[in-house]
Structures are given as C-alpha cells and as structure tokens.
Amino acid sequence: MSTRTYRDAIEHLNSLQSNAATIEASRASGGRLAQFAIPETKEYLQRIGYEPEELNKLNVIHITGTKGKGSTCAFADSILRHAKPSWKVGLYTSPHLVAVRERIRVNGAPISEEDFARFFFEVWDRLQQNTTRQFESTPLMPAYFRYVTLVAYHAFLSLKVDATILEVGVGGTYDCTNIVPRPIVTGVSALGIDHTAVLGKTLAEIAWQKGGIYKEGVPALTVNQPGEGLQVLKKQSEDLKASEFTVVPLTPELADIKLGLAGTHQLQNANLAVHLVRKFFQILEPESTHVQAQSIDSSTPETQAITALPLPPVWVKALESSRWPGRCQSVNDPNEEYGGTRWFLDGAHTVESLDCCVQWFVAPGLALAAGGNSKQRPRVLIFNCTNGRSGSSFLGTVLAKMKTQLQLHGSKEEPETFFDHVVFCANVTYADGGFKGDLTTHAIAESDLAQLKTQQDLASAWKALVPSFAASNVHVLPSIEHAVRIVRGVSGNDKKGVDVLVAGSLHLVGGVIEVADLASVAL
C-alpha cells in the first residue's frame, strides 16, 4: 500500500460497514447472530496478538444503559482526569459526531489522525497476515464497530493508559466491548422504557442484556430502574457472581453543582459516575484521599447507605467542566455573517430523551426570552430519526412537552406556532448526495433514501399533529446541507438571528456540525 493516511484508514473502515440488508437480516434472526459476537471478537483479538486477559491491564470502568451511558462516561472520564492529572486516561465511546477518531480519546482529546491511521493499519495488517480462524464461520475481517473496538484496545494497550472508561455499543451481553475478563467496576445507567417498543423487547430482556456486563468478583452498580428491570439486573449480578450489587443512592451535594452537561436528567448520570469512580479508587487505591470522601454502611447490601461527606473540590471542578458534544448543547454560530444564529444540538432519539431535550430547550434564556412571554426570534426544527421508528410518537412527544414547558414558564406561546419552519432531512452530508468520509453510512436502504420515505412519513405526521402549520414551511430535504441552507435563508431574512433545534439523531447532529462549520465551538 503506497499511503497510510487517515483518509485511507477511513476508506478501509467504511468498506467494513454492514449495509441495510445485512442489518435487517440480523434483526430477523432474533438476535442469534449477536451470540457469535463474543467468541468472534476474542478470535479477532488473538489474531492481532493479544489475549483477553491482557485487557485487564487497561483498568476498565465498563458502562452500559439505554440512555445516559455516554454522559456517564463523560463525567467519569472528567473526574478521573482531574483526580489523577499524571495519568493517561482512555475513553472509548460511540458513535462519533464528525470524525471517527473522536471515539478513541486519551486525556480528553481524540487521538490524532496520525495515531489513528497508525493503529488502524497495524490492526489491519495483522488481521490480513494472520488468517487462521478457530471458527470457520468467522468472517476474515470484523464489521465496522467491532473493528474500531479492536483499534481502541490496541491503541490503549500501546499507549499504556492507566485507566479506561469503556462504553458499550449496543446491549451488553453480546457487545464486543464485553470481552474484558475483569474490569474494575461495572455500571448500568437508565433503562429507557420506550426502548421496549423500539427494540421489540421487554424491559426484562433489555435488563438481562445490560446486566450481561457484570463480572465475577467485580462490583455491579446501577441507577434505580423501573419495574422488573431492577430485579433482573440483581439476578444477573448474582448469576454472574458479582462481588456486590449496588443501587447507587443520590449524592445530595450534586444538586448544588452546575454540571457541565445541561439538563436535569444529567444529575442521575453524574451521580452514577461519582459512585463508579469512588468504587474504582476503593479497589485500586484503597488508601487514596479520593476514597475518604464518604463512609459506607454495608448493612444494607442492595442499596448501601452512604453518609455523604463533601465531594473533593477537584471532583466538583471535574463535574462542572465535563463536556459531551451533541447532547443538550447550545453554541453560537462562529461565522460572523450568521452570528445571530444559535444552534441547540441534542442527539435525542427516544421518546424519553426527546422529553428531556424539550425540557432543556423550552426554557427562559434558551428558546424562551428571559420573561418567557414573547417570541424574540424565529425558530427552526431540524429533525430526523431511524427508519422504522414512530415519527408520530416522537413528534407528538415534542409537541406535548412543549405545551407543558410553555405553561410551566408562564408563556403565552402555543406549541403549534412555536417553530417557524420544520425540516426533515436525510443524514446525507452534502447536497450532491455525498458523505463526509467519517460520516458515510451504508445502513440506509437505497429505496428509502431515493424516496425520502422516512422524511416524508415525518412530514405527514407533523401535518397531522399540527394541521394549522403552514405547509410551505414544512421541508422534506435530501441532505443536511439543504437543511442548513434553509437556516441560512431564515437567518439572512431576520436581523434578530434564529434559534435552531437539531434533534432525533446523533448522526444528524454530527452532520450539522460539519456542514455549518461549528466544530470550533461544538467539539
């Protein structure tokens, strides 16, 4: 190979993507194909020169959940980095917003393009050269996410990180991050009830998958969960012989901290992160001052009673300075020509997360004027969601929550006239039909993309929910660049500027950051 650039790496990586037909076949299998993920990932790991036990050197905090797991990872990462400034702290998350290398971070920053390309091709070459497979059914090369996970393992081991926060991709039990034999501590964030309908699974089935990251001899933590979800997680912790099962109690002091991540729902995520990192230090450094900030009454093993002492000041600073782009994030457009544009970015893609998104957005100082009574600027909604999800349910949630928030803040505005334009666009990056290399996706069926079926369905749902909304201001568009052009047009026509809410998909948010050139302020 003549070149080994970052762009080359992305082109090779994109060749490993599963197309829409393959994804549909996996769903149709009822999850049976997922059961091969762990043995196959271990086989790939061995082919690039590592045994699973070597991953224990990474000192892993393993986190899953159906909502909030990424934010929990961000809080835990910030606490570790502030508490141990001399350490190398690795963070592996998904998906990325603009560049694939965002998924693999060391000390808060994505690894460089040069490092990503180097580690990428080292893994690639080893897999190409070592083709001996234990299972004949194992493909020669792993699929996209599994491959990036292998690159992350290789990068973190090569860089000799001192600690690693590892976010599960999908589920838990069969996720390819779940091959670390003995993480230091494991945690489960909120189990979203609405995921039962989206995934076609019961809450118990989802909880069983998430609890699959619990390990023998390793503390198993969780936030409080709805219904039978908590009982299933507890059973999983017992079956997998976790050293303890703890439903983390609230840290009262968190209520007085201005968290770096916006939204009231982040309190639960920050709380889980605090307990995960405390447990991490209790195990690795039992004499550490970071452990002495609490005393524990173990007489109630399921929900341990904690006598709260003040959080170390450095932990408070870490929570205040935590950042997680694309989640309840507001930025001003850095382009002077569009300086009056404010972008509100949230990859909310479930009913529950959209509820949280609107609660954050429709508030004084954000979408509402300080007094909450009069509309100061035009507003635009840019929205997309995964094919197959109920647009009517999602958009109905947005409108219902808007009504609640407007009443709460004493606003005379109505949900039906809150937005001046609504835009439903495909996640294609550019108007010419092309993708930025890092944002390329083969997961959208060509027929859906050609007909904009998902976007047409969303537009129909909006018109049915808000029949009085001007049809000319409901836009169905083939790309994110087309959507940004709508915003630029509104911004140019109104000297007050425009407020833009981008929601429904992290891929959409990432595309907007790219096309609107927001990286300097958003990432």
- Which one-letter DSSP state was computed for residue 50? -
pLDDT at 293: 46
The amino acid occupying position 521 is V
104-106 and 89-92: which strand pairing?
Answer: antiparallel
Give per-residue pLDDT as tens, 439-460.
888 766 676 777 899 999 999 9
Tell me the pLDDT tens digit for each residue of 353-398: 899 999 999 999 899 986 656 677 899 999 998 765 578 889 999 9
**pLDDT value of position 181:** 97
- Distance, in Å, from the CA atom of 120 to the CA atom of 147, rounded to the nearest integer, reads 9
How many alpha carbons lie under 13 Å from residue 467 in its C-beta half-sphere? 1
Residue 3 class from Cβ within 10 Å (0-12 exposed, 13-18 middle, 19+ buried)?
exposed
**d(C-alpha 217, C-alpha 237), whole Å:** 10
CB 456 within 8 A of CB 300: no
Separation of alpha carbons 259 and 267, rounded Å = 8
Phi, psi for residue 296 in degrees, rounded to 5: -120, 135
What is the distance between the alpha carbons of residues 275 and 244, in angstroms, rounded to a whole number?
13
302 Cβ neighbours under 8 A, 6+ residues apart: 234, 245, 246, 247
User: Stretch 318-344: mean pLDDT, rounded?
Assistant: 92
Question: Given phi > 0 = left and psi -120 to 50 = alpha, else beta, which region is 65?
Answer: left
Map out the domains of the chain with their CATH numbers: 6-320 (3.40.1190.10), 329-522 (3.90.190.20)
Phi, psi for residue 297 in degrees, rounded to 5: -95, 105
**Token pair belonging to 338:** 């569009």
Q: Which of 363, 349, 370, 374 is nearest to 401 (CA)?
A: 363
pLDDT digits (tens, 9 = 90+) for 228-248: 999 999 999 999 999 999 999
What tens digit of pLDDT does each residue of 122-160 get?
999 999 999 988 888 889 999 999 999 999 999 999 999
The whole-number pLDDT of residue 390 equals: 75
Q: Are strands 305-308 and 294-297 parallel, antiparallel or unpaired?
A: antiparallel
Peptide bond into 39 cis (omega under 30): no
Mean pLDDT, residues 81-100: 96
Average pLDDT rounded to a whole number, residues 474-487: 96
Across the chain, which distance is largest between two alpha carbons, in Å? Answer: 68
**77 versus 291: which is more confidently predicted?**
77
Contacts of 12 (CB under 8 A, 6+ apart): 120, 124
Query: Tens of pLDDT along 257-310?
Result: 999 999 888 999 999 999 999 999 999 988 776 665 444 444 444 444 444 567
Per-residue confidence band for 215, with pLDDT thresholds at 50, 70 and 90? very high
Assess whether pLDDT exceeds 60 at residue 330. yes
pLDDT at 512: 97
Q: Say whether 269 sits in a helix, a strand or coil.
A: helix
Q: Could you give the CA distance from residue 515 to residue 429 in angstroms, rounded to a whole number?
A: 7
* Alpha-carbon span 270 to 74, nearest angstrom: 9
Question: pLDDT grade, residue 196 (50/70/90)?
Answer: low
pTM of the shown model? 0.90
Q: Exposed (0-12), middle (13-18) or buried (19+): which is 365, by Cβ within 10 Å?
A: exposed
pLDDT at 20 over 90: no
What is the model's pLDDT at position 25?
53
What is the C-alpha to C-alpha distance for residues 178 and 167, in angstroms, rounded to an integer? 10
163's CB contacts (< 8 A; 6+ apart) are 58, 59, 60, 61, 80, 84, 87, 89, 90, 184, 280
Q: Which two tokens stand for residue 112?
A: 């460089």
Mean pLDDT of the chain: 89
Each residue's pLDDT tens digit, 399-428: 999 999 999 999 989 999 999 999 999 999
Average pLDDT over residues 74-83: 98
pLDDT band at 22 (very low <50, low <70, confident <90, very high): low
Determine the Cα–Cα distance for residues 36 and 33; give it in Å rounded to an integer.
6
